[in-house]
């Protein structure tokens, strides 16, 4: 099973729009996915799920993570790295069964011109520690506001070419 993780809890985020775009692209390739929007994390995650306690709300998310074989992370740039809520989510998940020896695909997005290159590298270090095997082809979609049209679709020909290439490789990974 593939789970796509929209790596921020910001409402109406471009991250969620890109995650949904990827979900549709994978569906067109005949792959079933689940979408985990970090807006759906319980508000009490820090007090209830980080240090041995488990809330009922997060238990459902943990079940999804445990059943997942492949993760696709869409990660926006926050202050030159990745969002703290994404790290909090990772920390709240059970170790090692959540990510150990599973596979991941990384997509960075930013409003700037580098597509969250640094944040993806930082997150890759977290993945290495977790023994989460990252597919070598990572995308960095810069200037995301010009990449998405009014229907939340990626429209630039070169971006679509690389997204399709990444999805084909991820399906076979």
Q: Which whole number is the average pLDDT over 160-170?
A: 96
Q: List, for residues 84-137, the tens digit of each pLDDT value.
A: 999 999 999 999 999 999 999 999 999 999 999 999 999 999 999 999 999 999
**What average pLDDT does the chain have?**
96
With 0-12 CB in 10 A as exposed, 13-18 as middle and 19+ as buried, what is 82? buried
pLDDT computed for residue 51 by the predictor: 81
Confidence of residue 52 (pLDDT cuts 50, 70, 90): confident
Q: Which whole number is the average pLDDT over 22-33?
A: 95
Helix (H, G, I), strand (E, B) or coil at 96: coil
Q: CA end-to-end span of the chain, whole Å?
A: 13
Per-residue pLDDT at 53 exceeds 90 = no
């Amino acid at each position: 099973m593939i789970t796509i993780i929209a790596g921020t809890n910001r409402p109406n985020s471009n991250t969620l729009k890109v995650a949904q775009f990827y979900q549709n692209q994978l569906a067109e390739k005949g792959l079933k996915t689940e979408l985990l929007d970090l807006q759906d994390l319980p508000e009490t995650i820090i007090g209830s799920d980080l240090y041995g306690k488990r809330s009922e709300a997060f238990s459902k998310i943990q079940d999804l993570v445990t059943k997942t074989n492949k993760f696709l992370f869409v990660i926006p740039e926050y202050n030159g790295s990745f969002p703290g809520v994404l790290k909090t989510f990772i920390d709240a998940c059970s170790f090692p069964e959540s990510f150990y020896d599973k596979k991941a695909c990384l997509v960075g997005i930013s409003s700037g011109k580098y597509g969250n290159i640094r944040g993806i590298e930082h997150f890759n270090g977290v993945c290495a520690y977790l023994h989460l095997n990252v597919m070598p082809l990572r995308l960095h979609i810069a200037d995301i506001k010009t990449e998405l049209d009014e229907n939340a679709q990626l429209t630039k020909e070169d971006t679509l070419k690389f997204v399709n290439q990444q999805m084909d490789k991820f399906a076979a990974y």
